Homo-oligomer: A and B are copies of this chain.
Amino acid sequence: MTDAIRVLIVDDHPVVRDGLRGMLTGDDIEVIGEAGDGDAAVLEALRLEPDVVLMDLRMPGSDGVTATGQLSQRLPSARVLVLTTYDTDADIRRALDAGADGYLLKDAPRDELLRAIRTVAAGRVALAASVAGRVVEHLRGDGDVLSSRELDVLRLVAGGRTNRAIARALDISEATVKTHLVHIFRKLGVADRTAAVTTALERGDITLA
Protein backbone atom coordinates (compact mmCIF):
# COMPACT_ATOMS: atom_id res chain seq x y z
CA MET A 1 0.00 0.00 0.00
CA THR A 2 1.67 3.22 -1.12
CA ASP A 3 -0.46 5.87 0.57
CA ALA A 4 -2.77 5.72 3.54
CA ILE A 5 -6.49 5.40 2.77
CA ARG A 6 -8.03 8.83 3.37
CA VAL A 7 -11.35 8.45 5.20
CA LEU A 8 -14.16 10.94 5.85
CA ILE A 9 -16.46 10.09 8.77
CA VAL A 10 -20.13 11.06 8.48
CA ASP A 11 -22.36 10.54 11.52
CA ASP A 12 -24.62 12.77 13.54
CA HIS A 13 -23.45 11.40 16.89
CA PRO A 14 -20.23 12.92 18.21
CA VAL A 15 -19.72 9.79 20.27
CA VAL A 16 -19.74 7.58 17.21
CA ARG A 17 -17.44 9.92 15.30
CA ASP A 18 -14.95 9.83 18.13
CA GLY A 19 -15.19 6.08 18.40
CA LEU A 20 -14.63 5.59 14.70
CA ARG A 21 -11.73 8.01 14.66
CA GLY A 22 -10.09 6.13 17.50
CA MET A 23 -10.75 2.79 15.88
CA LEU A 24 -9.41 3.74 12.48
CA THR A 25 -6.50 6.05 13.07
CA GLY A 26 -3.12 4.49 12.50
CA ASP A 27 -2.15 1.60 10.30
CA ASP A 28 -2.83 2.30 6.66
CA ILE A 29 -5.88 4.48 7.29
CA GLU A 30 -6.02 8.20 7.89
CA VAL A 31 -9.15 10.01 9.08
CA ILE A 32 -9.07 13.33 7.26
CA GLY A 33 -12.38 14.81 8.35
CA GLU A 34 -15.83 14.46 9.91
CA ALA A 35 -19.32 15.64 9.10
CA GLY A 36 -22.54 15.58 11.12
CA ASP A 37 -25.16 15.50 8.36
CA GLY A 38 -25.59 14.78 4.69
CA ASP A 39 -25.09 18.31 3.38
CA ALA A 40 -21.91 18.83 5.35
CA ALA A 41 -20.75 15.42 4.18
CA VAL A 42 -20.99 16.42 0.51
CA LEU A 43 -19.24 19.74 1.11
CA GLU A 44 -16.44 18.16 3.10
CA ALA A 45 -16.00 15.38 0.59
CA LEU A 46 -15.71 17.83 -2.30
CA ARG A 47 -13.16 19.82 -0.33
CA LEU A 48 -11.08 16.96 1.04
CA GLU A 49 -11.51 14.38 -1.73
CA PRO A 50 -11.38 11.32 0.52
CA ASP A 51 -10.84 7.81 -0.77
CA VAL A 52 -13.62 6.40 1.39
CA VAL A 53 -16.65 8.04 3.01
CA LEU A 54 -18.02 6.25 6.07
CA MET A 55 -21.69 7.19 5.83
CA ASP A 56 -24.42 6.93 8.43
CA LEU A 57 -27.94 6.71 6.97
CA ARG A 58 -30.31 8.18 9.53
CA MET A 59 -29.29 11.73 10.26
CA PRO A 60 -31.10 14.98 10.96
CA GLY A 61 -31.46 17.18 7.93
CA SER A 62 -30.17 15.73 4.68
CA ASP A 63 -29.92 11.97 5.08
CA GLY A 64 -27.22 9.54 4.10
CA VAL A 65 -28.92 8.11 1.03
CA THR A 66 -29.28 11.54 -0.53
CA ALA A 67 -25.69 12.39 0.28
CA THR A 68 -24.54 9.08 -1.18
CA GLY A 69 -26.40 9.83 -4.39
CA GLN A 70 -24.83 13.29 -4.62
CA LEU A 71 -21.36 11.94 -3.98
CA SER A 72 -21.56 9.19 -6.58
CA GLN A 73 -22.43 11.87 -9.12
CA ARG A 74 -20.19 14.76 -8.10
CA LEU A 75 -17.22 12.88 -6.70
CA PRO A 76 -17.14 9.43 -8.29
CA SER A 77 -13.60 8.87 -7.04
CA ALA A 78 -14.88 8.65 -3.46
CA ARG A 79 -16.13 5.21 -2.44
CA VAL A 80 -19.07 5.26 -0.02
CA LEU A 81 -19.22 2.69 2.77
CA VAL A 82 -22.55 2.83 4.59
CA LEU A 83 -22.26 2.20 8.32
CA THR A 84 -25.60 2.17 10.06
CA THR A 85 -27.61 0.64 12.87
CA TYR A 86 -30.47 -0.53 10.71
CA ASP A 87 -30.64 -3.23 8.10
CA THR A 88 -34.12 -3.09 6.62
CA ASP A 89 -34.51 -4.21 3.03
CA ALA A 90 -35.50 -0.78 1.85
CA ASP A 91 -32.56 0.93 3.55
CA ILE A 92 -30.12 -1.46 1.92
CA ARG A 93 -31.80 -1.24 -1.43
CA ARG A 94 -31.91 2.54 -1.43
CA ALA A 95 -28.31 2.87 -0.30
CA LEU A 96 -27.00 0.51 -2.95
CA ASP A 97 -29.19 2.11 -5.60
CA ALA A 98 -27.77 5.49 -4.63
CA GLY A 99 -24.30 4.20 -5.34
CA ALA A 100 -22.97 2.88 -2.04
CA ASP A 101 -20.01 0.52 -2.37
CA GLY A 102 -20.52 -1.22 0.94
CA TYR A 103 -22.99 -1.70 3.75
CA LEU A 104 -21.93 -2.48 7.31
CA LEU A 105 -23.78 -2.53 10.58
CA LYS A 106 -22.54 -0.54 13.53
CA ASP A 107 -22.14 -3.60 15.67
CA ALA A 108 -19.43 -4.85 13.36
CA PRO A 109 -16.16 -5.55 15.16
CA ARG A 110 -13.11 -3.44 14.45
CA ASP A 111 -11.32 -5.80 12.11
CA GLU A 112 -14.39 -6.30 9.96
CA LEU A 113 -14.69 -2.54 9.62
CA LEU A 114 -11.02 -2.19 8.67
CA ARG A 115 -11.32 -4.98 6.14
CA ALA A 116 -14.41 -3.38 4.62
CA ILE A 117 -12.67 -0.02 4.27
CA ARG A 118 -9.72 -1.61 2.49
CA THR A 119 -12.10 -3.58 0.29
CA VAL A 120 -14.08 -0.60 -0.93
CA ALA A 121 -10.90 1.49 -1.25
CA ALA A 122 -9.63 -1.21 -3.60
CA GLY A 123 -12.73 -0.76 -5.71
CA ARG A 124 -14.65 -3.82 -4.60
CA VAL A 125 -17.95 -4.10 -2.77
CA ALA A 126 -18.13 -4.89 0.96
CA LEU A 127 -21.32 -6.21 2.46
CA ALA A 128 -22.01 -7.43 5.97
CA ALA A 129 -22.98 -11.10 6.05
CA SER A 130 -26.58 -10.42 7.08
CA VAL A 131 -26.86 -7.77 4.39
CA ALA A 132 -25.43 -9.97 1.66
CA GLY A 133 -28.13 -12.53 2.37
CA ARG A 134 -30.83 -9.98 1.90
CA VAL A 135 -29.34 -8.73 -1.30
CA VAL A 136 -29.40 -12.09 -3.03
CA GLU A 137 -32.86 -12.66 -1.64
CA HIS A 138 -33.81 -9.34 -3.12
CA LEU A 139 -32.39 -10.25 -6.51
CA ARG A 140 -34.46 -13.41 -6.48
CA GLY A 141 -37.95 -12.26 -5.64
CA ASP A 142 -37.97 -8.81 -7.12
CA GLY A 143 -41.65 -8.61 -7.89
CA ASP A 144 -42.60 -7.07 -4.58
CA VAL A 145 -41.32 -3.55 -5.03
CA LEU A 146 -44.00 -1.01 -4.28
CA SER A 147 -44.56 1.63 -6.92
CA SER A 148 -44.25 5.27 -5.94
CA ARG A 149 -47.99 5.76 -6.14
CA GLU A 150 -48.53 2.76 -3.95
CA LEU A 151 -46.12 4.23 -1.43
CA ASP A 152 -48.12 7.48 -1.49
CA VAL A 153 -51.23 5.54 -0.60
CA LEU A 154 -49.48 3.42 1.99
CA ARG A 155 -48.01 6.43 3.76
CA LEU A 156 -51.48 7.94 4.09
CA VAL A 157 -52.85 4.62 5.29
CA ALA A 158 -50.15 4.63 7.95
CA GLY A 159 -51.43 8.05 8.97
CA GLY A 160 -54.77 6.49 9.75
CA ARG A 161 -56.70 8.02 6.86
CA THR A 162 -59.74 6.30 5.43
CA ASN A 163 -59.79 5.38 1.77
CA ARG A 164 -62.03 8.33 1.10
CA ALA A 165 -59.65 10.73 2.81
CA ILE A 166 -56.75 9.24 0.87
CA ALA A 167 -58.69 9.68 -2.36
CA ARG A 168 -59.25 13.34 -1.55
CA ALA A 169 -55.63 13.85 -0.51
CA LEU A 170 -54.25 12.34 -3.70
CA ASP A 171 -57.05 13.75 -5.87
CA ILE A 172 -58.05 10.37 -7.22
CA SER A 173 -61.19 8.30 -6.79
CA GLU A 174 -61.81 6.01 -3.87
CA ALA A 175 -61.92 3.10 -6.31
CA THR A 176 -58.36 3.79 -7.36
CA VAL A 177 -57.23 3.87 -3.77
CA LYS A 178 -58.76 0.45 -3.28
CA THR A 179 -57.05 -0.87 -6.36
CA HIS A 180 -53.70 0.36 -5.12
CA LEU A 181 -54.37 -1.19 -1.76
CA VAL A 182 -55.17 -4.57 -3.24
CA HIS A 183 -51.87 -4.45 -5.13
CA ILE A 184 -50.06 -3.40 -1.98
CA PHE A 185 -51.61 -6.27 -0.03
CA ARG A 186 -50.57 -8.75 -2.69
CA LYS A 187 -47.01 -7.42 -2.87
CA LEU A 188 -46.58 -7.40 0.88
CA GLY A 189 -48.35 -10.70 1.34
CA VAL A 190 -50.88 -9.38 3.85
CA ALA A 191 -54.64 -9.25 4.13
CA ASP A 192 -55.47 -5.80 5.49
CA ARG A 193 -54.24 -2.26 5.80
CA THR A 194 -52.97 -2.55 9.34
CA ALA A 195 -50.74 -5.51 8.53
CA ALA A 196 -49.62 -3.69 5.40
CA VAL A 197 -48.45 -0.76 7.47
CA THR A 198 -46.54 -2.85 10.00
CA THR A 199 -44.82 -5.07 7.46
CA ALA A 200 -43.95 -2.03 5.34
CA LEU A 201 -42.47 -0.45 8.47
CA GLU A 202 -40.51 -3.61 9.16
CA ARG A 203 -39.27 -3.80 5.58
CA GLY A 204 -38.41 -0.12 5.72
CA ASP A 205 -40.60 0.86 2.78
CA ILE A 206 -42.11 3.62 4.86
CA THR A 207 -41.08 5.37 8.07
CA LEU A 208 -42.94 6.91 10.95
CA ALA A 209 -40.79 10.03 11.14
Contact = CB atoms under 8 A, between A and B. Distances in A.
A202 interface: yes
Contacts of A18: 18-19, 22-23
B201 A15 contact: no
Interface in A181-201: 190-199, 201
Interface string A34-46: 0000000000000
Interface stretch (A132-140, A158-166, A172-180): A158-166
A198 B12 CA distance: 26
A110 interface: yes
Contacts of A12: 107
Contacts of A23: 14-15, 18
Q: Size class of A's contact patch? A: 35 or more
Q: Which of A162, A191, A197 has the most CB of B within 10 A?
A: A197
Contact of A194 (B160, B190, B202): B160
Interface in A71-129: 85, 106-110, 113
27 contacts: A13-B19, A13-B85, A13-B106, A13-B107, A14-B19, A14-B108, A14-B109, A15-B19, A15-B20, A15-B23, A15-B106, A15-B113, A17-B19, A18-B19, A18-B23, A19-B20, A19-B22, A157-B194, A158-B194, A159-B198, A160-B194, A160-B195, A160-B199, A162-B192, A198-B208, A201-B201, A202-B208
